[in-house]
Amino acid sequence: MMKLAPRDPSLVSTYDRKLGTRSWALTGGRVIDPANRRDEIGEVYVRDGKIVAEIPVNESVEVIDCSGLIVCPGLIDLHVHLREPGQGSKETVATGTRAAAAGGFSTIVAMPNTKPVADGPNTIAWLRQRIAETAIVNVYTTGCISQNMAGEALAPIGSLKQAGVVAITDDGKCIQNNELMRRALEYAQMFDLPLLDHCQDYALSEGGVMNEGYWSTVLGLQGWPAIAEEVIVGRNALLAELTGGTVHCQHLSSAGSVRLVREAMQRGVKISAEVMPHHLALTDESIAGYDTNFKMNPPLRTKRDIAALLEGVADGTIEILGSDHAPHATYEKEVEFSEAPFGILGLETELSLFVKTLIEPGVISWAKMIEKLTINPAKLLRLDKGTLSPGADADITLIDPAREWVVDKEKFQSKSRNTPFHGWELKGKAVATVVAGEFVFSC
């Protein structure tokens, strides 16, 4: 991973004063490391930016008391839009990684729908240089499936792999040509790259701006039916089965999609899925006020869909949690609902919203949730992350499960403000983020 830029002093505070030596210990916290099936009150030792099993007895060690906190591997978000190059008015690598650090994420994965799109090694090289200069957390890059994300011809997948991408995706768009998708899966398998897919049939969803159903009828807005997602999820499962490739279905939103992924997994298909907090915390009824901050793709759906998504998280059908962090400038969202862009911010509220939707109702345990935010995305993307094993980089997140806070978009580290959660009272928050043994955020 590239060398990190100097941390921003506005993001760090009390913990910094404790790092006067090369070795230090986090003690007294609840250590949750799903990769090693560890869940206990214990210690984590760091030496020269790496996790170690112990510190030599004759070496000076600084101790950080983590009583009352959860100590876990640095959280990973595999679905983030950093907007650079080309859309710096919305977000930059610098501001996006500040937001990630503030949300407890030591590693994020950047989507390729930039301007220009990341469909060739030159754009990847530019982005990696920007990451080296300005990022304060680990950032991995993805490349496009198709040239110019047009869905007509494959991007140079081998060259993208050589340039350093960890996956291919046309996120924001969906390959409609089934033959092209088949070949993409075959090439991705050849280069040992997972393929991440935004599942949307354009013919079925054309013109849709919210979930097709009762509320779209009441509000007079064009519907985006769940079947438009489910058709592509089913297509992906069949093609993955045919080719033996690995396909990951992004931001599931419907009950039918969960069922299709579950059935494919039971057949041994190499398919996985993720869910975002807004699809668990909100329904299409939330759009009753025509607030464009509730407009996203795929759209908010029904309570029935949420119940199915929660069941999928609980039974392991949905193995990964993400944010789909999608910044937009305020002026872009302050238009008629049908004209506004899809997408909301996610990095700084993600963890707490998952606490609200998954931990507080007892859907899954803290250990299971952290597994879906650490080792599971790391395994999918073949990253040497998501663990507190000795020898691993000291990427660590400290979480206060009892911390209560109110979402204030004006205090976000992100450059944008497009969130539907402003003013929400939440519980559970990352209080420190460590990357390679350095505190890049604490509060």
Element (H, E) at 441: strand 438-442
CA distance linking residue 239 with residue 185, whole number of Å: 8
Catalytic-residue membership of 201:
no
Measured over the CA atoms of residue 262, residue 263, residue 268 and residue 270, the dihedral's sign is negative
Judge whether 275 and 324 are in contact, CB under 8 Å.
Answer: no
CA distance linking residue 383 with residue 393, whole number of Å: 12
Half-sphere exposure (Cβ direction) of 422: Cα atoms closer than 13 Å: 15
Q: Which of 77, 324, 393, 400 is labelled catalytic?
A: 324
Nearest Cα to Cα of residue 63 among 7, 15, 25:
25
Chain centroid, CA 44 distance in Å: 25
Q: How many helices (H) and strands (E) does the chain have?
A: 14, 18
Nearest Cα to Cα of residue 275 among 236, 301, 295:
301
Tokens of residue 94, six digits:
């610098």
E strands present in 210-358: 210-211, 223-224, 247-249, 271-275, 320-321
The residues carrying an active-site annotation are: 324
